[in-house]
């Protein structure tokens, strides 16, 4: 039985050897195509991240999402455009987190070098320490 062209579908092979064609309902696929997945629907936090994902049709992905702020989780099917925007947002957030980490590392190293220099000048470091 052919599916409707506007309903993504895929085949699932059952242990019995039979193949079943799964068609996704409109209601799930049309869930707010403008939605930004990084924004939590429960608390409006902007740190939602994926827990798991799999492609369920040519242009649709099932993604399990989690918000670290309110701990809500949701699994839904999203179209390729929504997922692509989410991927870009995740890349941007990862770059920002990496930049913050490097800033923190530099600050920690600066503090460490200052303490080491002060200890050296105060005579608290001896050749036996190395
Ligand atoms: Zn949340």
Ordered DSSP codes for 25-59: -HHHHTS-TT--TTS-TTT--S--EEEEEEEEETT
- Domain assignment present for residue 50? The answer is yes
- Domain assignment present for residue 10? The answer is no
What is the distance in A from the centroid of ligand 1 to the CA of 2? 40
What's the structural domain count of the chain?
1
User: What is the per-residue pLDDT across 43-78, written as a single tens digit (0 to 9) for each?
Assistant: 999 999 999 999 999 999 999 999 999 999 999 999
- Domain assignment present for residue 54? The answer is yes
Sign of the CA dihedral running 27, 31, 37, 41: negative
What is the distance in A from the centroid of ligand 1 to the CA of 90? 16
User: What is the per-residue pLDDT across 96-119, written as a single tens digit (0 to 9) for each?
Assistant: 999 999 999 999 999 999 999 999
Tell me the whole-structure pTM to 2 decimals: 0.62
3-state secondary structure of 108: helix
Contacts of 21 (CB under 8 A, 6+ apart): 1, 3, 9, 10, 11, 12
CA atoms lying within 13 Å on the CB side of residue 76: 20
- Domain assignment present for residue 17? The answer is no
Q: What is the pLDDT of residue 127?
A: 82
Contact between 78 and 30 (Cβ < 8 Å)? no
More confident: 61 or 30: 61
What is the distance in A from the centroid of ligand 1 to the CA of 71? 6
- Domain assignment present for residue 111? The answer is yes
State which residues form the domain around 109: 28-124
């Amino acid at each position: 039985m052919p599916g409707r062209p506007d309903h993504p579908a895929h085949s699932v092979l059952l242990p019995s050897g039979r193949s079943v064609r799964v068609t996704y309902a409109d209601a799930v696929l049309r869930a707010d195509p403008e939605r930004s997945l990084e924004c939590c629907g429960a608390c409006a936090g902007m740190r939602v991240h994926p827990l798991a994902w799999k492609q369920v049709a040519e242009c649709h992905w099932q993604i399990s999402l989690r918000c670290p702020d309110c701990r809500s989780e949701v699994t839904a099917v999203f179209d390729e455009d929504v997922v692509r925007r989410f991927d870009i947002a995740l890349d941007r957030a990862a770059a920002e987190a990496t930049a913050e980490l490097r800033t923190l590392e530099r600050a920690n190293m600066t503090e460490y070098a200052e303490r080491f220099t002060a200890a050296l000048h105060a005579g608290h470091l001896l050749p036996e320490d190395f």
